[in-house]
Structure 1
Amino acid sequence: MAFVVPSAYMLLMLSVLGLYGVVDGGRPAVVNIGAVLSYDSTIGRVAKVAIEAAVDAINANKDILKGTRLNLVAANSNCSAFIGMFAALKVLDKEVVTLIGPQSSVIAHMLSYFSAKFQVPLVSFADTDPSLSSLQYPYFVRMTQSDSYQMHAMADLIISYGWKQVIAVFIDDDYGRNGVYALDDELTKRKLRISYKIALPVGASRYKILELLQSSKAVGRRVYVVHASPDSGLDIFHAAQELQMMTNDFVWLATDWLSTILDTFELNKASQLNYLQGVVGFQHYIPQSAQKNAFESRWNKLHRNGVASSKLNTYAFYAYDTVWAVAYAINDFLASSGNITFSSNHQIGDTRGKVNIDKIKPFDGGHLLLQKLLLLNTTGSSGPIRFDSNRNLMSGAYEVINIYGSTMHTVGYWTNFTGLSASPSKTLRASDPRNLISNQVLTNITWPGGSTTIPRGWVPSTRERPLRIGVPRRVSYIQFVNISIDNTTFQGYCIDVFKEALKLLPYEVPYQFVPFGDGKATPKYWTLVNLVADNQIDALVGDISIAPNRTRIVDFTQPYISSGLVIVVPTKSTKSSAWVFLRPFTVGLWCVTGVFFFLIGIVIWILEHRVNKDFRGSPKRQCITIFLFSFSTLFHSEQEETLSTLGRFVLMVWFFLLMVVTSSYTASLTSFLTVQQLQSPIHGIDSLIASNEPIGYQEGSFAWSYMANNLKIPRARLIPLRNPDAYENSLLLGPKNGGVAAIVDELPYVEIFLATKTGFGIVGQPFTNNGWGFAFQRDSPLAVDISRAILQLSENGDLQRIHMKWFCQGTCTSHSASISEPNQLHLNSFWGLFLVCGIVTIAALLLFLLRAIRQFIRYNKNKRDEASMTSIAKTFYSFIDFIDAKEEAAKNMFRHQQCSSQPQAS
Structure 2
Amino acid sequence: MASGLRITMFLLLAFISASVAQNVTGSKVEEFHVGVVLDLGTMVGKVANTSIAIAVEDFYAAHPNYTTRLVLHIRDSMSDDVQAASAVLDLLENYNVQAIIGPQKSSQAVFVSAIGNKYQVPIISFTATSTSLSSRSLPYFVQATVRDSAQVSSIASIIKTYGWREVVPVYADNDYGRGIIPDLVDALEGINAHIPYRSVIDESAASEQITQELYKLMTMQTRVFVVHMSSSLGSLFFTKAKEIGMMGKGFVWIITDGLANLIDSLNPSVVEAMNGALGVEFCVPKSTGLDNFTMRWYMRSRNDHPNDPTLKLNIFGLWSYDTIWAVAQAAEKTEVTEAKFQIPPALKSLETLEKSRNGPAVLQAILQTKFEGLSGYFDLSGGELQVSMFQIINVVGTARRVIGFWTAQNGISQQLDQSKTNRTYGSSTQNLSIVIWPGGSTEVPRGWEIPTNGKKLQVGIVIGGGYPKYIDANEDSITGVVTASGLVIEIFEEAVKKLPYALPYEYVVFNTTENVSSSYDDFVYQVYLKKYDIAVGDITIRYNRSLYVDFTLPYTESGIAMVVPVKESTNKNAWIFLKPLTPGMWFGTIVLFIYTGIVIWLLELLGNNINVHGPIPRQLATMLYFSLYEEKEMVKRLMSRIVLVIWLFFLVVLKSSYTASLTSMLTVQQLQPTITTVDELLRTGESVGYGRGSYIKGLLEELGFHESKIKPYDTPEDYHNALSKGSKNGGVAALVDEIPYIKLFLADNCKGYTMVGPIYKTAGFGYALQKGSPVIGDISKAILNITGGDSIIRIEKEWIGDQNNCQNVGTISGTGSLTFDSFAGPIIATGVASTTAVMVALIIYFCQNKKLGPGNGDSEEILPHEEHKDGGDERSQCQEEAGDRRMHGQINTPRSKGSNWLPKQAHIYSGIENVRT
In the superposition, the TM-score normalised over structure 1's length comes to 0.76
What is the letter of the counterpart of residue 70 of structure 1? L
Q: Residue in 2 aligned with 1:108?
A: 109
Q: What SS is found at the alignment partner of 2:196?
A: strand
Q: 1:401 to 1:660 in 2, by over 3 A?
A: closer
Given candidates 411, 430, 450, the residue that maps to 2:403 is 411
Shift of 1:368: 1.4
Contact kept, 8 Å, 1:220 with 1:460, in 2: the verdict is yes
Cα distance in 1 between the residues matched to 2:58 and 2:50: 12
Contact kept, 8 Å, 1:463 with 1:510, in 2: the verdict is no
Cα distance in 1 between the residues matched to 2:873 and 2:124: 139
Cα distance in 1 between the residues matched to 2:736 and 2:364: 74
User: Do residues 342 (structure 1) and 332 (structure 2) align?
Assistant: no
Cα distance in 1 between the residues matched to 2:590 and 2:421: 83
Q: Residue in 1 aligned with 2:432?
A: 442
Aligned residues: 781
Given candidates 499, 503, 508, the residue that maps to 2:502 is 508
Contact kept, 8 Å, 2:263 with 2:399, in 1: the verdict is no
Q: What SS is found at the alignment partner of 2:72?
A: strand
Q: What SS is found at the alignment partner of 1:802?
A: helix
Q: What SS is found at the alignment partner of 2:775?
A: helix
Q: Residue in 2 aligned with 1:549?
A: 544
Could you list the per-position Cα deviations for residues 98-144 of structure 1 after superposition, in whole angstroms to 9, with x for gaps in the alignment?
11111222322222222122221111100111232222221121211
- How do residues 183-198 of structure 1 correspond to structure 2 at under 5 angstroms? 183-198=184-199
Q: 1:715 to 1:433 in 2, by over 3 A?
A: closer
Contact kept, 8 Å, 2:116 with 2:122, in 1: the verdict is yes
Q: What SS is found at the alignment partner of 1:816?
A: coil
User: Do residues 525 (structure 1) and 520 (structure 2) align?
Assistant: yes
Q: Residue in 2 aligned with 1:307?
A: 305
Q: 1:826 to 1:750 in 2, by over 3 A?
A: closer
Contact kept, 8 Å, 1:668 with 1:822, in 2: the verdict is no
Given candidates 682, 685, 708, the residue that maps to 2:678 is 685
Q: What SS is found at the alignment partner of 1:801?
A: helix
Shift of 1:569: 1.6
Q: 1:204 to 1:149 in 2, by over 3 A?
A: same
Given candidates 725, 730, 750, the residue that maps to 1:733 is 725
Given candidates 818, 823, 827, the residue that maps to 2:811 is 818
Cα distance in 1 between the residues matched to 2:258 and 2:55: 24
Q: 1:590 to 1:89 in 2, by over 3 A?
A: closer
Contact kept, 8 Å, 2:498 with 2:782, in 1: the verdict is yes
User: Do residues 377 (structure 1) and 370 (structure 2) align?
Assistant: yes
Q: Residue in 2 aligned with 1:704?
A: 697
Could you list the per-position Cα deviations for residues 263-304 of structure 1 after superposition, in whole angstroms to 9, with x for gaps in the alignment?
334x2x3x4344212111133333333443343233323443
Contact kept, 8 Å, 1:350 with 1:358, in 2: the verdict is no
Contact kept, 8 Å, 1:226 with 1:253, in 2: the verdict is yes
User: Do residues 457 (structure 1) and 447 (structure 2) align?
Assistant: yes
Shift of 1:170: 0.9
Cα distance in 1 between the residues matched to 2:423 and 2:456: 45
Cα distance in 1 between the residues matched to 2:588 and 2:286: 99
Q: 1:44 to 1:827 in 2, by over 3 A?
A: closer
What is the letter of the counterpart of residue 170 of structure 1? Y
What is the letter of the counterpart of residue 449 of structure 2? V
- How do residues 121-520 of structure 1 correspond to structure 2 at under 5 angstroms? 121-265=122-266, 267=267, 269=268, 271-305=269-303, 307=305, 309=308, 310-333=311-334, 337=335, 339-342=336-339, 355-358=348-351, 360-388=353-381, 390-395=382-387, 397-424=389-416, 435-437=425-427, 441-459=431-449, 464-486=454-476, 487-517=481-511
List gaps (5 residues or longer) in structure 2. Answer: 1-22, 594-620, 839-863, 865-869, 893-917
Q: What SS is found at the alignment partner of 1:561?
A: coil
Cα distance in 1 between the residues matched to 2:765 and 2:648: 55
Q: Residue in 1 aligned with 2:787?
A: 794
List gaps (5 residues or longer) in structure 1. Answer: 1-21, 598-625, 637-641, 844-857, 859-863, 869-874, 891-906
Cα distance in 2 between the residues matched to 1:741 and 1:58: 95
Cα distance in 2 between the residues matched to 1:533 and 1:82: 46
Shift of 1:250: 0.8
Could you list the per-position Cα deviations for residues 584-619 of structure 1 after superposition, in whole angstroms to 9, with x for gaps in the alignment?
16789999999999xxxxxxxxxxxxxxxxxxxxxx
Q: Residue in 2 aligned with 1:902?
A: none
Q: Residue in 1 aligned with 2:744?
A: 752
Could you list the per-position Cα deviations for residues 168-220 of structure 1 after superposition, in whole angstroms to 9, with x for gaps in the alignment?
11112222122122222223333334333212233233333333333334442
Shift of 1:449: 0.9
Q: 1:808 to 1:307 in 2, by over 3 A?
A: same
Q: What SS is found at the alignment partner of 1:677?
A: strand
Cα distance in 2 between the residues matched to 1:23 and 1:491: 99
What is the letter of the counterpart of residue 743 of structure 1? L
Contact kept, 8 Å, 1:668 with 1:824, in 2: the verdict is no
Q: Residue in 1 aligned with 2:82?
A: 82
Could you list the per-position Cα deviations for residues 623-659 of structure 1 after superposition, in whole angstroms to 9, with x for gaps in the alignment?
xxx9xxx9xxx9x9xxxxx997679x99998897477
Q: 1:384 to 1:542 in 2, by over 3 A?
A: same
What is the letter of the counterpart of residue 377 of structure 1? K
Cα distance in 2 between the residues matched to 1:342 and 1:498: 78
Shift of 1:324: 2.5
Cα distance in 2 between the residues matched to 1:507 and 1:678: 50
Contact kept, 8 Å, 1:279 with 1:403, in 2: the verdict is yes
Q: What SS is found at the alignment partner of 2:270?
A: coil
Q: 1:52 to 1:359 in 2, by over 3 A?
A: farther
Q: 1:259 to 1:645 in 2, by over 3 A?
A: closer
What is the letter of the counterpart of residue 540 of structure 2? S
Cα distance in 2 between the residues matched to 1:212 and 1:580: 87
Q: 1:770 to 1:445 in 2, by over 3 A?
A: closer
Cα distance in 1 between the residues matched to 2:649 and 2:123: 104
Could you list the per-position Cα deviations for residues 352-376 of structure 1 after superposition, in whole angstroms to 9, with x for gaps in the alignment?
67x5435533221211112222222
Cα distance in 2 between the residues matched to 1:277 and 1:535: 35
Q: 1:298 to 1:739 in 2, by over 3 A?
A: same
- How do residues 649-664 of structure 1 correspond to structure 2 at under 5 angstroms? 657=651, 660-661=654-655, 663-664=657-658
Q: What SS is found at the alignment partner of 1:778?
A: coil
Flag as ranges the 4+ runs of structure 1 deviating above 6 A. 586-597, 649-656, 826-836, 864-868
Q: Residue in 2 aligned with 1:50?
A: 51
Contact kept, 8 Å, 2:471 with 2:489, in 1: the verdict is yes
Cα distance in 1 between the residues matched to 2:772 and 2:575: 60
Q: Residue in 1 aligned with 2:3?
A: none
Q: What SS is found at the alignment partner of 2:241?
A: helix
What is the letter of the counterpart of residue 790 of structure 1? I
Q: 1:815 to 1:538 in 2, by over 3 A?
A: farther
Cα distance in 2 between the residues matched to 1:497 and 1:786: 11
Cα distance in 1 between the residues matched to 2:802 and 2:653: 43
What is the letter of the counterpart of residue 99 of structure 2? T
User: Do residues 778 (structure 1) and 771 (structure 2) align?
Assistant: yes
Cα distance in 2 between the residues matched to 1:827 and 1:290: 86
Cα distance in 1 between the residues matched to 2:111 and 2:591: 105
Contact kept, 8 Å, 2:166 with 2:774, in 1: the verdict is no
Deviates more, 1:769-778 or 1:739-748: 769-778
User: Do residues 35 (structure 1) and 36 (structure 2) align?
Assistant: yes
Q: Residue in 2 aligned with 1:610?
A: none
Cα distance in 1 between the residues matched to 2:239 and 2:429: 35
Q: What SS is found at the alignment partner of 1:674?
A: coil
Shift of 1:315: 1.0
Q: 1:866 to 1:474 in 2, by over 3 A?
A: same
Cα distance in 1 between the residues matched to 2:422 and 2:582: 75
Cα distance in 2 between the residues matched to 1:593 and 1:144: 86
Shift of 1:380: 3.1
Cα distance in 1 between the residues matched to 2:648 and 2:152: 84
